[in-house]
Structure 1
């Protein structure tokens, strides 16, 4: 992870004034920990190796990247069996001997690649854009190669996103803090760790990113994005009230900056609704989403992932509300059926959202059937009690 803790005592490190090893730049909370780590923690044996690896941050990034690539290739092994990389055309990478991955919505034999090949492709494209001072739109498109498939244009997910996050951070970690690609790489690593459910590591990275952005006087939009990322993690780690407070502030700030009919605002609207759902504030969810869904459908279309997530959230609010009626259950089932069909067609069967939607649909159908049986049974009882 981003090195924000003392390697000796695990205490948080000050952002700029931490004591560091003069040789390998490993940072410590003080002289005592540095001395103890050298004498008792094995740093005397690792110091030269870390220095040769580019310093503490770079050495750690390279180590984590190698581990993440191995995990991604192992998780994709069954799907990639007998395939070749669409970039280098080999089954095993010529240098690293790593296996193939595919974490997007490509079909058939398309989209199989080595993480190293994807990373090298992205690195070259970004470097070319920097060297030629290409315009911002082109730079953003080039940068997207770090996180999205160049063939189907879907963002990578799961272990593949995590491996590419480490690849990106490994590429730019040695640059100055004020360097834009380094800041973007830190954010991408946080997303990748979150995708792979390495939540504690993701929290450390995202807190470091927010602290750095505030220290450097980053733009309001960027800080809002970082706050939103932290809100996601607070929710995942069970700190739901803290997550909701932060999410409400992020949505309000994004609405002020962009207005209601922008993708950024709709993303934050969906995130805010999800936090309300986590806290079982069902009426607020329903009122809010019935207002925002028509906007999302008009601006993003019915097949956009954010629109699908909003519809799924509304269905769960209808289904989970203790005061739900049979009509509410039926609406939830109908909505989830439609969302599932669209998601499978657009995202592919292996996308996590598809599996989650289908699980929710099974549960909603079971609940609706049980309620229908109860209503039918009650009607029969009432009919039997009615005098003839």
Structure 2
């Protein structure tokens, strides 16, 4: 149900909206369906049906586009290298080029999106065929978003291409199927990672509506809300994001405890939102409580710990009432986290780039405060 808008008028669709009998293209009513038929759907209906019907046709088209974008973006980094899975430069079947969007460096981590997808499909299929349960499925499903070599998330356009690969693999399953639900989640996160936020929003809203309609667990609904709140924040719906982040943090604290990784991530997201709204004291208070817990539970090298410390430094330096000591503490914190992020995640990782950008800004702010103006010299 990723095609969430009417093909004729683009209005949002209900989950049980009427469909074309042959190709399953969805419409808000019969009038729109008849109008779309006259305006050209008649010519492509058979083609869409042969492509696996509307959702498959759409997902396959989006997947190919996303792979092309990812290959082009990674071209300089993968030039002259081969896939670590199939050992070829060009994929034998699709003829696609190579990508790398994780923390691997040198010759490691270079692969075809198709090879990464095939590897993930095989691992998930083993769990399903042997009825190993949801925990095992969830663990194997990490291959759709995490590198098997460096064990870090894929990011950017590579994450987006894998999201589409995952969705087109499982979309034909029933809504109640666990793999289909996880695939929808991967697609939403992939689109968000590639900064395709409006598309991510439609997927994430559809996912949350589906979970509520099916009566999913509170834990899973909080995960979906967290992903959606992040997109709300990016598209400028800050107050909606703030209310949702607050409820997520509160809900996770009660459900799994304050030292659970999901709760620590929720605290980081909520604090960053508070900082963006100018509520610096609330943000700093929450982060001062969270940082020692994250260091103890996750360790200094974990990306959540690095994010929490980075957000704390940003809250210190962007507060209009920041003292000279605040700025110095922010610079020291960002210098430490930048070194760790570069060592663990690599210089091209979005978190590393974000921390280093914040460090440049904070150093400049500190220099401006430390250097007396000519009139006060």
TM-score range, shorter chain: over 0.9
**Alignment correspondent of 2:305:** 307
Compute the displacement of 1:376 (Å): 9.8
User: Bigger CA drift: 307-316 or 368-377?
Assistant: 368-377
CA distance, structure 2, for counterparts of residue 140 and residue 255 of structure 1: 22
CA distance, structure 2, for counterparts of residue 44 and residue 136 of structure 1: 43
**Alignment correspondent of 2:367:** 369
CA distance, structure 2, for counterparts of residue 236 and residue 374 of structure 1: 37
**Alignment correspondent of 1:384:** none
Q: In the alignment, does 2:2 pair up with 1:8?
A: no
Q: In the alignment, does 2:72 pair up with 1:74?
A: yes
CA distance, structure 1, for counterparts of residue 290 and residue 311 of structure 2: 12
**Alignment correspondent of 1:157:** 155
Moved over 6 A (4+): none
Compute the displacement of 1:375 (Å): 8.1
Aligned length: 377
Matches within 5 A, 1:30-41: 30-40=29-39
CA distance, structure 2, for counterparts of residue 278 and residue 92 of structure 1: 44
Q: Which has the larger radius of gyration?
A: 1
**Alignment correspondent of 1:386:** none
CA distance, structure 2, for counterparts of residue 115 and residue 312 of structure 1: 31
Matches within 5 A, 1:16-35: 16=16, 18-35=17-34
Q: Structure 1 length as normaliser, TM-score?
A: 0.95
Task: Output one character per residue of 1:327-361: Cα deviation in whole Å (capped at 9) or x when no partner.
Answer: 11111111110010011011111101111111111
Gaps of 5+ in 2: none
CA distance, structure 2, for counterparts of residue 137 and residue 250 of structure 1: 22
The correspondence for 1:320, drawn from 296, 299, 318, is 318
CA distance, structure 1, for counterparts of residue 259 and residue 225 of structure 2: 21
CA distance, structure 1, for counterparts of residue 28 and residue 118 of structure 2: 36
Compute the displacement of 1:366 (Å): 1.0
Matches within 5 A, 1:114-153: 114-153=112-151
Q: In the alignment, does 2:188 pair up with 1:205?
A: no
Compute the displacement of 1:140 (Å): 2.4
Compute the displacement of 1:135 (Å): 4.2
CA distance, structure 1, for counterparts of residue 324 and residue 375 of structure 2: 14
Compute the displacement of 1:374 (Å): 2.4
**Alignment correspondent of 1:103:** 101
Q: Structure 2 length as normaliser, TM-score?
A: 0.98
